[in-house]
Amino acid sequence: MNYYWGMIVKIMNEKLIYEAGEFLKKAKYPIVLSGAGVSADSGIPTFRNSDSLSTKASYFGYYKNFINDPKLWWEDQLDTNKNEQRTKFRNSVEQAIPNQSHYAIAELELNNIIKHVITQNVDELHYRAGSKNVIEIHGSRYKCRCVKCEKRFSRESMDISILPPICECGGIIKFDTVLFGEAIPRSVLKNCIDVVSKSDFILVVGTSSLVNPSANFPKYIKKNGGMIVEANINTTPISSIAKIILRGSTSNILPILSDYILKKN
Ligand SMILES: [Zn+2]
Protein backbone atom coordinates (compact mmCIF):
# COMPACT_ATOMS: atom_id res chain seq x y z
CA MET A 1 0.00 0.00 0.00
CA ASN A 2 2.69 2.45 1.03
CA TYR A 3 4.90 1.56 -1.90
CA TYR A 4 1.95 1.80 -4.27
CA TRP A 5 0.92 5.19 -2.98
CA GLY A 6 4.53 6.28 -2.93
CA MET A 7 4.80 5.60 -6.65
CA ILE A 8 1.50 7.32 -7.43
CA VAL A 9 2.51 10.38 -5.44
CA LYS A 10 5.88 10.50 -7.10
CA ILE A 11 4.59 10.33 -10.64
CA MET A 12 1.38 12.33 -10.41
CA ASN A 13 1.84 14.71 -7.55
CA GLU A 14 5.40 15.93 -7.30
CA LYS A 15 4.84 19.00 -9.45
CA LEU A 16 1.64 19.84 -7.60
CA ILE A 17 3.37 19.40 -4.25
CA TYR A 18 6.09 21.86 -5.29
CA GLU A 19 3.42 24.28 -6.48
CA ALA A 20 1.68 24.00 -3.11
CA GLY A 21 5.07 24.52 -1.47
CA GLU A 22 5.56 27.82 -3.31
CA PHE A 23 2.19 29.08 -2.08
CA LEU A 24 2.98 27.87 1.43
CA LYS A 25 6.31 29.72 1.45
CA LYS A 26 4.59 32.97 0.49
CA ALA A 27 1.76 32.67 3.04
CA LYS A 28 1.86 34.89 6.13
CA TYR A 29 0.06 32.67 8.61
CA PRO A 30 -0.20 29.08 7.36
CA ILE A 31 -1.98 26.54 9.53
CA VAL A 32 -2.78 22.84 9.33
CA LEU A 33 -6.12 21.18 9.93
CA SER A 34 -5.56 17.46 10.46
CA GLY A 35 -7.89 14.52 10.78
CA ALA A 36 -7.95 10.75 11.08
CA GLY A 37 -6.19 10.17 7.74
CA VAL A 38 -2.98 11.56 9.23
CA SER A 39 -2.99 8.89 11.94
CA ALA A 40 -4.13 6.07 9.65
CA ASP A 41 -0.54 5.09 8.88
CA SER A 42 0.06 4.85 12.62
CA GLY A 43 -2.54 2.07 12.71
CA ILE A 44 -5.49 4.05 14.08
CA PRO A 45 -8.83 3.33 12.32
CA THR A 46 -10.31 6.21 10.31
CA PHE A 47 -13.98 5.06 10.33
CA ARG A 48 -14.29 5.52 6.60
CA ASN A 49 -16.61 2.60 5.93
CA SER A 50 -20.40 2.72 5.81
CA ASP A 51 -21.14 2.06 9.49
CA SER A 52 -18.39 4.42 10.55
CA LEU A 53 -20.50 6.96 12.44
CA SER A 54 -22.34 4.44 14.59
CA THR A 55 -19.10 2.53 15.23
CA LYS A 56 -17.35 5.73 16.18
CA ALA A 57 -20.22 6.73 18.44
CA SER A 58 -20.05 3.40 20.25
CA TYR A 59 -16.32 3.96 20.88
CA PHE A 60 -16.50 7.57 22.00
CA GLY A 61 -19.97 7.55 23.60
CA TYR A 62 -22.81 10.05 23.80
CA TYR A 63 -22.75 13.20 25.89
CA LYS A 64 -26.38 12.74 26.92
CA ASN A 65 -25.44 9.47 28.65
CA PHE A 66 -22.73 11.27 30.59
CA ILE A 67 -25.09 14.08 31.62
CA ASN A 68 -27.90 11.68 32.59
CA ASP A 69 -25.72 9.60 34.90
CA PRO A 70 -22.03 10.57 35.18
CA LYS A 71 -21.27 7.75 37.64
CA LEU A 72 -22.72 5.08 35.36
CA TRP A 73 -20.92 6.67 32.39
CA TRP A 74 -17.58 6.47 34.21
CA GLU A 75 -18.19 2.86 35.26
CA ASP A 76 -19.02 1.95 31.68
CA GLN A 77 -15.94 3.75 30.32
CA LEU A 78 -13.60 2.05 32.77
CA ASP A 79 -14.99 -1.42 32.03
CA THR A 80 -12.61 -2.82 29.41
CA ASN A 81 -14.72 -5.97 28.97
CA LYS A 82 -17.91 -4.12 28.14
CA ASN A 83 -17.15 -3.19 24.55
CA GLU A 84 -14.42 -5.32 23.06
CA GLN A 85 -14.12 -3.25 19.87
CA ARG A 86 -13.89 -0.04 21.87
CA THR A 87 -11.07 -1.51 23.95
CA LYS A 88 -9.34 -2.62 20.76
CA PHE A 89 -9.65 0.88 19.31
CA ARG A 90 -8.26 2.45 22.49
CA ASN A 91 -5.36 0.03 22.47
CA SER A 92 -4.60 0.97 18.86
CA VAL A 93 -4.45 4.64 19.90
CA GLU A 94 -2.25 3.94 22.90
CA GLN A 95 0.17 1.74 20.96
CA ALA A 96 0.46 4.11 18.00
CA ILE A 97 3.62 6.03 17.25
CA PRO A 98 3.90 9.13 15.01
CA ASN A 99 4.36 8.55 11.27
CA GLN A 100 5.98 10.58 8.48
CA SER A 101 2.95 12.91 8.28
CA HIS A 102 3.32 13.99 11.91
CA TYR A 103 7.08 14.45 11.58
CA ALA A 104 6.78 16.49 8.37
CA ILE A 105 4.19 18.81 9.96
CA ALA A 106 6.33 19.17 13.10
CA GLU A 107 9.39 20.00 11.03
CA LEU A 108 7.49 22.70 9.15
CA GLU A 109 6.32 24.15 12.46
CA LEU A 110 9.74 24.05 14.09
CA ASN A 111 11.11 25.95 11.07
CA ASN A 112 8.45 28.60 11.55
CA ILE A 113 6.59 27.80 8.34
CA ILE A 114 3.43 26.34 9.92
CA LYS A 115 2.14 28.48 12.81
CA HIS A 116 -0.52 26.21 14.27
CA VAL A 117 -2.00 22.75 13.97
CA ILE A 118 -5.69 22.22 14.65
CA THR A 119 -6.28 18.49 14.94
CA GLN A 120 -9.42 16.40 15.22
CA ASN A 121 -7.30 13.51 16.47
CA VAL A 122 -7.22 12.54 20.13
CA ASP A 123 -3.97 10.54 19.96
CA GLU A 124 -1.41 13.30 20.81
CA LEU A 125 0.79 12.07 17.94
CA HIS A 126 1.43 15.63 16.70
CA TYR A 127 2.93 16.48 20.10
CA ARG A 128 4.94 13.30 20.17
CA ALA A 129 6.38 14.15 16.74
CA GLY A 130 7.56 17.52 18.08
CA SER A 131 4.75 19.97 17.22
CA LYS A 132 4.20 22.61 19.90
CA ASN A 133 1.25 24.76 18.81
CA VAL A 134 -1.45 22.12 18.64
CA ILE A 135 -5.14 22.68 19.32
CA GLU A 136 -6.90 19.40 20.01
CA ILE A 137 -10.42 20.30 18.95
CA HIS A 138 -11.84 16.90 19.94
CA GLY A 139 -9.71 16.60 23.07
CA SER A 140 -7.04 14.11 24.06
CA ARG A 141 -7.29 10.43 24.93
CA TYR A 142 -4.70 11.03 27.67
CA LYS A 143 -6.51 13.81 29.50
CA CYS A 144 -9.64 14.51 31.51
CA ARG A 145 -11.57 17.78 31.61
CA CYS A 146 -13.94 19.58 33.96
CA VAL A 147 -17.18 20.32 32.09
CA LYS A 148 -17.65 23.55 34.07
CA CYS A 149 -14.30 25.42 34.16
CA GLU A 150 -12.70 23.34 31.31
CA LYS A 151 -9.51 22.73 33.30
CA ARG A 152 -7.65 19.73 31.94
CA PHE A 153 -5.91 17.03 33.95
CA SER A 154 -3.68 14.16 32.92
CA ARG A 155 -5.67 10.96 33.01
CA GLU A 156 -3.02 9.25 35.12
CA SER A 157 -3.27 11.87 37.86
CA MET A 158 -7.04 11.42 38.18
CA ASP A 159 -8.35 10.01 41.44
CA ILE A 160 -11.13 7.67 40.34
CA SER A 161 -11.73 6.00 43.70
CA ILE A 162 -15.02 7.90 43.91
CA LEU A 163 -16.99 8.33 40.70
CA PRO A 164 -17.52 10.71 39.09
CA PRO A 165 -14.40 12.75 39.93
CA ILE A 166 -15.23 16.34 40.89
CA CYS A 167 -13.14 19.42 40.08
CA GLU A 168 -12.16 21.94 42.75
CA CYS A 169 -14.65 24.33 41.09
CA GLY A 170 -17.46 21.84 41.77
CA GLY A 171 -17.85 20.76 38.14
CA ILE A 172 -17.97 17.12 37.08
CA ILE A 173 -14.90 15.72 35.33
CA LYS A 174 -15.08 13.52 32.23
CA PHE A 175 -12.61 12.26 29.67
CA ASP A 176 -11.28 15.14 27.57
CA THR A 177 -12.36 13.50 24.30
CA VAL A 178 -15.42 15.26 22.92
CA LEU A 179 -18.42 12.93 22.92
CA PHE A 180 -21.19 12.70 20.36
CA GLY A 181 -23.61 15.52 21.05
CA GLU A 182 -21.09 17.43 23.16
CA ALA A 183 -20.14 21.00 22.26
CA ILE A 184 -16.48 21.82 21.61
CA PRO A 185 -15.15 23.38 24.87
CA ARG A 186 -15.50 27.20 24.70
CA SER A 187 -11.80 27.87 25.37
CA VAL A 188 -10.74 25.44 22.63
CA LEU A 189 -13.16 26.90 20.11
CA LYS A 190 -11.97 30.41 20.95
CA ASN A 191 -8.35 29.37 20.30
CA CYS A 192 -9.39 27.88 16.96
CA ILE A 193 -11.24 31.03 15.92
CA ASP A 194 -8.25 33.22 16.91
CA VAL A 195 -5.92 31.13 14.77
CA VAL A 196 -8.30 30.69 11.82
CA SER A 197 -9.12 34.41 11.66
CA LYS A 198 -5.39 35.23 11.34
CA SER A 199 -4.70 32.57 8.73
CA ASP A 200 -4.33 33.08 4.98
CA PHE A 201 -3.38 29.48 4.14
CA ILE A 202 -4.78 26.22 5.42
CA LEU A 203 -3.36 22.81 4.66
CA VAL A 204 -6.26 20.40 5.18
CA VAL A 205 -4.79 16.94 5.71
CA GLY A 206 -6.48 13.59 6.16
CA THR A 207 -9.86 14.92 7.17
CA SER A 208 -13.15 14.25 5.44
CA SER A 209 -14.13 17.83 6.36
CA LEU A 210 -17.64 16.73 7.25
CA VAL A 211 -17.69 17.46 10.96
CA ASN A 212 -18.42 20.97 12.19
CA PRO A 213 -17.05 23.30 13.34
CA SER A 214 -13.73 22.13 11.76
CA ALA A 215 -15.37 21.85 8.33
CA ASN A 216 -16.07 25.59 8.39
CA PHE A 217 -12.47 26.68 9.05
CA PRO A 218 -11.22 26.20 5.46
CA LYS A 219 -14.37 27.85 4.09
CA TYR A 220 -13.87 30.85 6.37
CA ILE A 221 -10.23 31.26 5.34
CA LYS A 222 -11.11 31.01 1.66
CA LYS A 223 -13.92 33.57 2.09
CA ASN A 224 -11.39 35.92 3.66
CA GLY A 225 -9.17 35.69 0.58
CA GLY A 226 -6.98 32.87 1.85
CA MET A 227 -6.05 29.59 0.22
CA ILE A 228 -6.88 25.93 0.81
CA VAL A 229 -4.52 23.09 -0.08
CA GLU A 230 -5.92 19.64 0.53
CA ALA A 231 -3.99 16.41 1.02
CA ASN A 232 -6.26 13.40 1.23
CA ILE A 233 -6.53 9.89 -0.12
CA ASN A 234 -10.20 10.55 -1.05
CA THR A 235 -12.30 13.33 -2.55
CA THR A 236 -13.97 15.41 0.19
CA PRO A 237 -16.45 18.30 0.28
CA ILE A 238 -13.45 20.65 0.57
CA SER A 239 -11.88 19.35 -2.68
CA SER A 240 -14.11 21.52 -4.89
CA ILE A 241 -12.94 24.75 -3.21
CA ALA A 242 -9.27 23.82 -2.74
CA LYS A 243 -6.64 25.64 -4.81
CA ILE A 244 -4.52 22.51 -4.99
CA ILE A 245 -5.50 18.91 -4.27
CA LEU A 246 -2.74 16.47 -3.37
CA ARG A 247 -4.29 13.05 -3.76
CA GLY A 248 -2.72 10.18 -1.84
CA SER A 249 -1.50 9.08 1.56
CA THR A 250 -0.45 12.06 3.66
CA SER A 251 2.60 10.15 4.95
CA ASN A 252 3.88 10.09 1.37
CA ILE A 253 2.88 13.62 0.41
CA LEU A 254 3.85 15.68 3.46
CA PRO A 255 7.54 14.65 3.67
CA ILE A 256 7.98 15.66 0.00
CA LEU A 257 6.35 19.03 0.75
CA SER A 258 8.44 19.54 3.88
CA ASP A 259 11.71 18.54 2.17
CA TYR A 260 10.96 20.86 -0.75
CA ILE A 261 10.30 23.86 1.48
CA LEU A 262 13.23 23.18 3.78
CA LYS A 263 15.47 22.62 0.73
CA LYS A 264 16.37 19.07 1.54
CA ASN A 265 16.06 17.82 -2.02
ZN1 LIG B 1 -13.61 22.89 37.20
Q: How far is the CA of 121 from the centre of ligand 1 (A)?
A: 24
Q: How far is the CA of 263 from the centre of ligand 1 (A)?
A: 47
On the question of pLDDT at 17 being above 80, the answer is yes
Q: What is the pTM of this model?
A: 0.92
Chain mean pLDDT for the chain:
91
**pLDDT band at residue 44 using 50, 70 and 90 as cut-offs:** confident
- State yes or no: is 138 an active-site residue: yes
DSSP string, 3-67: HHHHHHIIIIIHHHHHHHHHHHHH-SSEEEEE-HHHHHTTT-----STTHHHHHHHHH-BHHHHH
Cα gap 218→201, rounded to integer Å: 9
Q: How far is the CA of 172 from the centre of ligand 1 (A)?
A: 7
**pLDDT band at residue 49 using 50, 70 and 90 as cut-offs:** low
For the residues 45-56, what does the mean pLDDT come to? 65
Ion ligand 1 neighbours (CB, 5 A) are 146, 148-149, 151, 167, 169, 171
Cβ-contact 30, 202 below 8 angstroms = yes
Percentage of the chain surpassing pLDDT 90? Answer: 77
> Count of CB atoms within 10 A of residue 15's CB?
9
Cα gap 250→258, rounded to integer Å: 12
Lowest mean per-residue pLDDT among 6-15, 33-42, 233-242: 6-15
Per domain, the residue ranges of the chain are 2-46+98-141+183-261
Positive or negative, the CA dihedral 72, 75, 81, 85 is positive
For the residues 32-38, what does the mean pLDDT come to? 95
CATH of domain 2-46+98-141+183-261: 3.40.50.1220
Please tell me the predicted confidence (pLDDT) of residue 50: 46
